[in-house]
Amino acid sequence: MITDVAPRLGWWQQTWRLVAAAAVGIPLWLSVGVLQRGQEGETGSWFVIGDPLVALGCLTALVWRRRFPLAVAMTVVIASTASALASGAALLALVSLSTRRRPVEIGVVAMALVTASQFAGGFYPVQSSPGLLWYQLAFPALIAGIAVAVGMAIGARRVEVRSLRDRAESAEREQTARAAQARALERNRIAREMHDVLAHRISLVAMQAGVLDHRSGLSVEENRVLIRGIADGSHQALEELRDVLGVLRADPGRPEPPQPSLERIPDLVADARASGLDVTLATTVTGTPSDVVGRTCYRIVQEGLTNAAKHASGAHVHITLEGTAGDKLDVSVRNSPATRATAPPPTSGFGLLGLTERITLAGGKLDHHPTPDNGYVLTAQLPWPNLTHEKRV
| pLDDT at 321 (0 to 100) | 94
Average predicted confidence (pLDDT) for the chain: 78
Q: 247: domain CATH number?
A: 3.30.565.10
pTM summary value: 0.47
In angstroms, what CA-CA distances link 303 with 19, 67, 132, 151?
Answer: 79, 69, 99, 71
Element (H, E) at 341: none
Tell me the per-residue pLDDT of 212-222, one tens digit each, with 9 for 90 and over.
666 666 777 77
Strand pairing of 278-283 and 316-323? parallel
Judge contact between 194 and 243, C-beta under 8 A: no
Question: Is residue 115 classed exposed, middle or buried when 0-12, 13-18 and 19+ CB atoms within 10 A define those classes?
Answer: middle
Domain region containing 109: 11-173
Give the domain-ending residue among 124, 139, 173: 173
Query: How would residue 125 be classed by pLDDT, with cut points 50, 70 and 90?
Result: low
Give the Cα separation of 361 and 380 in Å (integer). 13
Q: Are residues 126 and 204 located together in one domain of the fold?
A: no
Give the Cα separation of 339 and 315 in Å (integer). 6
Q: Are residues 383 and 321 located together in one domain of the fold?
A: yes
Residue 131 scores a pLDDT above 60: no
Q: Are residues 162 and 20 located together in one domain of the fold?
A: yes
Query: How would residue 158 be classed by pLDDT, with cut points 50, 70 and 90?
Result: confident
Tell me the per-residue pLDDT of 61-98, one tens digit each, with 9 for 90 and over.
888 888 888 888 889 888 888 888 888 888 888 888 88
Q: Are residues 151 and 239 located together in one domain of the fold?
A: no
Query: How would residue 390 be classed by pLDDT, with cut points 50, 70 and 90?
Result: very low
Judge contact between 205 and 241, C-beta under 8 A: no
Give how many domains the chain has, as a whole number.
Answer: 2
Q: What is the DSSP string of 98-159?
A: HTT--HHHHHHHHHHHHHHHHSGGGTS-----GGGHHHHHHHHHHHHHHHHHHHHHHHHHHH
Q: Are residues 20 and 78 located together in one domain of the fold?
A: yes
Give the Cα separation of 250 and 260 in Å (integer). 19
Which amino acid type is present at position 132?
L
Residue 121 scores a pLDDT above 70: no
Give the domain-ending residue among 173, 195, 217: 173
Residue that wins the pLDDT comparison between 156 and 33: 156
Q: Is 227 part of a structural domain of the chain?
A: yes
Q: Which of 22-31, 164-173, 370-379 has the lowest mean pLDDT?
A: 22-31
Q: Is 365 part of a structural domain of the chain?
A: yes
Judge contact between 355 and 382, C-beta under 8 A: no
* Other CB atoms within 10 A of residue 323 CB: 23
Q: Are residues 189 and 273 located together in one domain of the fold?
A: yes
Question: Is residue 229 classed exposed, middle or buried when 0-12, 13-18 and 19+ CB atoms within 10 A define those classes?
Answer: buried
Q: Is 3 part of a structural domain of the chain?
A: no
Q: Are residues 146 and 183 located together in one domain of the fold?
A: no
Mean pLDDT in residue range 303-312: 84
Q: Are residues 144 and 272 located together in one domain of the fold?
A: no
Q: Are residues 71 and 140 located together in one domain of the fold?
A: yes
Q: Are residues 123 and 73 located together in one domain of the fold?
A: yes
Q: Is 1 part of a structural domain of the chain?
A: no
How far does Cα 237 stand from its chain's mean position? 38
Which amino acid type is present at position 220?
V
Judge contact between 93 and 148, C-beta under 8 A: no
| pLDDT at 393 (0 to 100) | 37
Give the domain-ending residue among 149, 173, 197: 173
Mean pLDDT in residue range 128-134: 56
Q: Are residues 249 and 141 located together in one domain of the fold?
A: no
Query: How would residue 261 be classed by pLDDT, with cut points 50, 70 and 90?
Result: confident
Give the Cα separation of 250 and 254 in Å (integer). 8
Q: Is 5 part of a structural domain of the chain?
A: no
Give the Cα separation of 157 and 159 in Å (integer). 5
Give the Cα separation of 204 and 228 in Å (integer). 12
Q: Are residues 227 and 164 located together in one domain of the fold?
A: no
